[in-house]
Amino acid sequence: MPLLPQYSLAGKTAILYSAGGDEAPFLAQALAEAGASVFAICRRQETLDAVSESLSNEPGRHSGVAAVIDSKGAVDAAMAEFRGRHERVDILVNDGRSMFARAAKEIWLDDWDEVQSRNVRSTFLISQAVGSEMIGQGYGRIVNIISGLAERGMINGSAFSVSQAGLLALTRSLAVEWGQHNIRVNAIGVGWTTAEDIPVEEQRQEQLVRYIPVRQKGQPRDIGPLLVYLCSEACDYTTGQPVYVDGGLNAHP
């Protein structure tokens, strides 16, 4: 199968941060398939185990740590683990989508703060640490995986939507601020996804699935090739942009 050489990540090292959800293993697999070494930072041990399992055919090349990244000390400790195994970091992928949905008048402030901390504060802390190294070496690619709720409202979605809009604004700001250092910062915006293989006809029994123009939920593998391109050296002129892979949700009413 002819493939453009521009889609290769051979020789690159990627840090993958997962705030939550079950898609990190697929993102890690896409990066590894393109040739990158992957170091995962997962908020939950369960997610890290799933990532390690998905990369188990090359156990020596990939590693990771389970850590709650809510302070400078926490990110420094995770980066110390990383430096124990790798020389430099070329790629940072942040999946800041720990989901939460509750009626706005019933959201406790602790829950609100926790959602913002898991998704935004942690992504900022890691981006700041990794970005500093990228500035020093004059090269880097950062991709934030965000929800399309960065652009739209949803009933019960206020806390989560705010966190996603924050990540989109962070994407644009870091792109503008770090562009001069040959660092590109983009986002992939996803719609309604599932990591499970559910037959399409079964999915369509749900009204919300029929509302998606392509009439099926997205799969994490749907964003794998795009993630690889946005992490590649060839992605040199695109920065500060969200690319939505959402079955057409963002383009219709």
What is d(CA 29, CA 9) in angstroms, rounded to the nearest whole number?
Answer: 12
- Interface residue with another protein, options 4, 10, 103, 208 (CB under 8 A): 4
- The values of phi and psi at residue 248, to 5°, are 95, 5
Residues in region 177-206 near another protein by CB under 8 A: 177, 179-180, 184
- Interface residue with another protein, options 69, 142, 228, 231 (CB under 8 A): 228
251 part of the interface to another protein, by CB under 8 A = yes
Question: In angstroms, what is the minimal distance from the CB of 143 to another protein?
Answer: 14
221 part of the interface to another protein, by CB under 8 A = yes
Q: Which stretch of DSSP H or E encloses residue 210?
A: helix 207-211
What is d(CA 74, CA 67) in angstroms, rounded to the nearest whole number?
Answer: 7
Residues in region 8-37 near another protein by CB under 8 A: 29-30, 33-34
Hey, what are 210's tokens? 């029929």
Residue pointed to by tokens 């509302």: 211
138 part of the interface to another protein, by CB under 8 A = no
Is 93 in a helix, a strand, or coil?
A: strand
Query: Is the CB of residue 38 less than 8 Å from the CB of residue 62?
Result: yes
Hey, what are 20's tokens? 């939550």
- The values of phi and psi at residue 16, to 5°, are -115, 120
Residues in region 59-88 near another protein by CB under 8 A: none
Residue with Cβ nearer another protein (156 or 216): 216
Residue with Cβ nearer another protein (136 or 248): 248
Greatest CA separation found in the chain?
54
140 part of the interface to another protein, by CB under 8 A = no
Query: Is the CB of residue 137 less than 8 Å from the CB of residue 181?
Result: no
Residue with Cβ nearer another protein (61 or 181): 181
- Interface residue with another protein, options 72, 88, 204, 215 (CB under 8 A): 215
Residues that bind another protein (CB under 8 A): 1-4, 6-7, 29-30, 33-34, 171-172, 175-177, 179-180, 184, 213-215, 218-219, 221-226, 228-229, 232, 234-241, 243-248, 250-252
